[in-house]
Amino acid sequence: MTPAPPERTIRVVTLYDDVMNVYADRGNLIALEARAAEHGVGVEVQSVSLGDPLPEDADLVLIGGGQDREQRRVADELAVRGPVLRAWAAAGTAMLAVCGGFQLFGRWYRDASGTELPGAGVFDVTTIAPGPGAARCIGDILANVEIEGVGEVVGFENHGGRTYLGPGGRPFARVEYGRGNNGEDGTEGAIFQNAVGTYLHGSLLPKNPALLDWLIAAALRHRYGEGSSQALIEPRPAPYAERAHAASAAVARRRSPKFEPVVK
Ligand code: GLN
């Protein structure tokens, strides 16, 4: 007998997944689909790349990382889509923008060649790549998320760009091991309503089940309304993901520098 179709679904938009997808960021979508199924939530995925129209609405938007070359290909179009993406974020659409995608969800990114790429402006952050001679921020990272109940996240960062929060920017997490936004102030990523920007690859979601569940719950609230019974997910164990998380956290604690703020 085939299982009954899920009674609730979330509409997921992946942005430029054929261009912006380094370090297995596509794994975020695979983990999302698998975990949503465990919660009895269907996932409708629409892949939007260069030249494709955006749908009317979305409950969750995913964009992965890319190097400067890939970012140059998508930046202008993404900036044109900025007003729609900002309106979605303001209305509670969940988002996960990783690394190069996070940089382009900020106000602008000045890349290693000095070219300023416009951003979508979902987050009040700006990013500057100090240039080819400067050290990159590379390694395992562990950070404590500023969202209640999510706890610590673990991942792998590899970026030249240094990101700084503007006056309206809030950090997604505080770095405990690794470098984060800029290696100086201890902030990692940014959060605006249910939109998260972060430097963590990994893939991130397969080994951070608390964050994954939070994104699914946020997407359901956007789809069905705060307080609706269809928007609720029950806590359920994620034994493989929790083991992957614990193993990665141990690696980050062992291999990465404990974060110390830079005093200038
Ligand atoms: N090009 C950006 C940087 O190096 C983003 C890199 C990435 O997405 N891994 O800062």
pLDDT at 39 over 90: yes
pLDDT at 4 over 80: no
- Say what the pLDDT of residue 132 is: 79
- Report whether 205 contacts 212 (CB < 8 A): yes
Mean per-residue pLDDT of the chain: 95
Q: What percent of the chain has pLDDT over 90?
A: 91
- 223-245 burial code (b ≥16 CB/10 A, e <16): bbeeeeeebebeeeebeebeebb
- Report whether 61 contacts 45 (CB < 8 A): no
> If you measure from the C-alpha of residue 67 to the centroid of ligand 1, how many angstroms do you get, rounded to a whole number?
5
Which residues belong to the active site? 99, 201
Residue whose C-alpha is closest to residue 178's, from 160, 195, 194, 200: 200
Which two tokens mark 124?
């009040």
Q: Which residues line ligand 1 (CB under 6 A)?
A: 22, 65-68, 71, 99-100, 103, 129, 158-161
- 23-41 burial code (b ≥16 CB/10 A, e <16): bbbbbbbebbebbbeebeb
Tens of pLDDT, residues 233-254: 999 999 999 999 999 999 999 9
Q: What span, in angstroms and rounded, lies between the C-alpha atoms of 138 and 157?
A: 5
Which two tokens mark 119?
């951003």
Q: What span, in angstroms and rounded, lies between the C-alpha atoms of 102 and 119?
A: 9
Domain coordinates in residue numbering, the chain: 8-255
Pocket test for ligand 1, best of 99, 113, 117, 200 (most atoms within 8 A of CB): 99
Which DSSP category does 230 fall into? G
Domain 8-255 sits in which CATH superfamily? Answer: Class I glutamine amidotransferase (GATase) domain (3.40.50.880)
- Say what the pLDDT of residue 6 is: 67
Tens of pLDDT, residues 163-212: 999 999 999 999 999 999 999 999 999 999 999 999 999 899 999 999 99
- Say what the pLDDT of residue 3 is: 61
Tens of pLDDT, residues 112-163: 889 999 999 999 999 999 977 889 999 999 999 999 999 999 999 999 999 9
Total-model pTM: 0.96
> If you measure from the C-alpha of residue 19 to the centroid of ligand 1, how many angstroms do you get, rounded to a whole number?
13
